[in-house]
Amino acid sequence: MKLLIPAASGIEAAVKREIERLGLGHAPAVRGRLELEGGWDTVARLNVSLRAGERVLIELSRFRAESFDELFEGVSAIPWEEYFTAHTRILLDGKSYKSKLAAVKAAGGVAKKAIVRRLSEKLHVRTLDERGERAVVGVSLFEDCASVTLDTSGDGLHKRGYRVLSYDAPLRETTAAAIVEDSFYNREKPFADPFCGSGTLPIEAALYARGVSPGLGRSFDFTRWKCAPQGALLHAREEAGEGEYRGKVAPIYASDLSERAIAAAKEHARRAGVEKDIFFSVGDMRAFTAAEKFGVLASNPPYGERMEKGEDLFPLYRDLGRMFRSLPDWSAYILSAYEGAEAAFGTPNKRRVLYNANLKCSLLSYFGKKPEKGK
């Protein structure tokens, strides 16, 4: 099967490294989706183990569709009876870019009619009650070419299950995981987030250090379909569990000025099973210090959308930069939409654009020294 892994803009490289680390080969990125071949075992492994990918899709067909008739015929040609029953609850998700069929809702309606007609004929039923398992069919139109996909994940892969308490402007789990991946952090390095909020970055760092697969304890839509072999998910979970690390990891520090934030972060870490790996504290980032060298500071500090109108953020970022430079040979990865972040913190070694809650942000990377071999 042809599999597609949607990735948020700017983190495709992190997802590609994950896929290669899973031993699944090269996965080129095409229009924000990484493409690879695989069977149901690969579908299960990706859903269980991906940290930065958003979903796992099966591409069922790709064809030209400049009219609704062409769209209907193309969708009708797909053997839906191999995937669905008369009880499957079929939902449509669509988008269109530079295509004659620009009305996404209308295109979805045509696709749904094509699926229903095909199933009715092949299953020899008059009606589909749609009271059973969920299946999300995607119809993506790009320059008059239609890509029809089936979403094996269901809920997005960012929904790990540990974040249950609300807090202001949470960082998406998949974005946090991509920042950790980009930092080349490992369990032998200390890690710190002095603006931890509800704990997403330090929790994702701890899960990464422990080798805990983020989808280990959640369910996925594909397991309820008649076409998916029983046992694929169980095997993927067993394999993922064997890769967990139970030894000592370097300290992970998480702090915030807000007591409510730290309370939420502690609960989320407990639910994620990594509360013993993270040292939580309520405090000002200016007071943060660490005895360990060659650590990683990764943070999503406050910025304009999250602060009182007119508040000057320059001193905060300036002081954050000073604190960082007091840490011997550490590296820093700062995600922010504040336009003055670079001027206040310092010129980065690398910068790139990421999106957080639909806000265009910059990920500023500052590289520390590498430890000498044998030390």
Residue 354 belongs to a domain with what CATH number?
3.40.50.150
Mean pLDDT by 10 residues, the chain (375 residues): 94 94 92 94 97 97 97 98 95 96 96 97 93 96 97 96 85 96 94 96 98 94 93 94 94 97 97 97 96 96 63 91 95 95 95 88 93 67
Number of domains present in the structure of the chain = 2
Would you state the structure tokens that stand for residue 35, as one six-digit string?
Answer: 């493409």
Please report the pLDDT score of residue 310 as a whole number. Answer: 45
Handedness of CA 76, 78, 84, 85 (dihedral sign): positive
Q: Is residue 18 part of a domain?
A: yes
Q: Is residue 96 part of a domain?
A: yes
Comparing C-alpha atoms, which of 301, 29, 303, 343 is closest to residue 179?
301
* Whether 146 and 180 share a structural domain: no
Sheet with 296-299, strands from edge to edge, namely 278-282, 252-256, 191-193, 296-299, 331-336, 359-366, 350-356
User: Which pTM was predicted?
Assistant: 0.92
* Whether 121 and 187 share a structural domain: no
* Whether 199 and 107 share a structural domain: no
* Whether 142 and 182 share a structural domain: no
Q: Is residue 29 part of a domain?
A: yes
* Whether 345 and 203 share a structural domain: yes
Beta carbons within 8 Å of 318's beta carbon, 6+ residues apart: 344, 345
Q: Is residue 233 part of a domain?
A: no
Full residue range of the structural domain in which residue 267 is found:
173-214+249-366
Q: Is residue 222 part of a domain?
A: no
* Whether 274 and 145 share a structural domain: no
* Whether 7 and 132 share a structural domain: yes
Residue 103, judged by CB atoms within 10 A of its CB (0-12, 13-18, 19+), counts as: middle
Which bin fits 23, alpha (ψ -120 to 50), beta or left (φ > 0)? left
* Whether 126 and 25 share a structural domain: yes
Would you state the structure tokens that stand for residue 269, as one six-digit string?
Answer: 């870490």
Ranges of beta strands (E only) in the chain are 2-6, 29-30, 33-37, 57-64, 89-97, 134-142, 145-151, 191-193, 252-256, 278-282, 296-299, 331-336, 350-356, 359-366
Number of CB atoms found within 10 A of residue 89's CB: 14
Q: Is residue 375 part of a domain?
A: no
CA 244: distance to chain centroid?
20
Strand partners for 279: 253
* Whether 331 and 189 share a structural domain: yes
* Whether 89 and 26 share a structural domain: yes
Please report the pLDDT score of residue 305 as a whole number. Answer: 54
Q: Is residue 373 part of a domain?
A: no
* Whether 8 and 119 share a structural domain: yes
Residue 61 belongs to a domain with what CATH number?
3.30.2130.30
* Whether 129 and 49 share a structural domain: yes
Please report the pLDDT score of residue 90 as a whole number. Answer: 96
Q: Is the distance from CB of 152 to CB of 251 less than 8 angstroms?
A: no
Q: Is residue 32 part of a domain?
A: yes
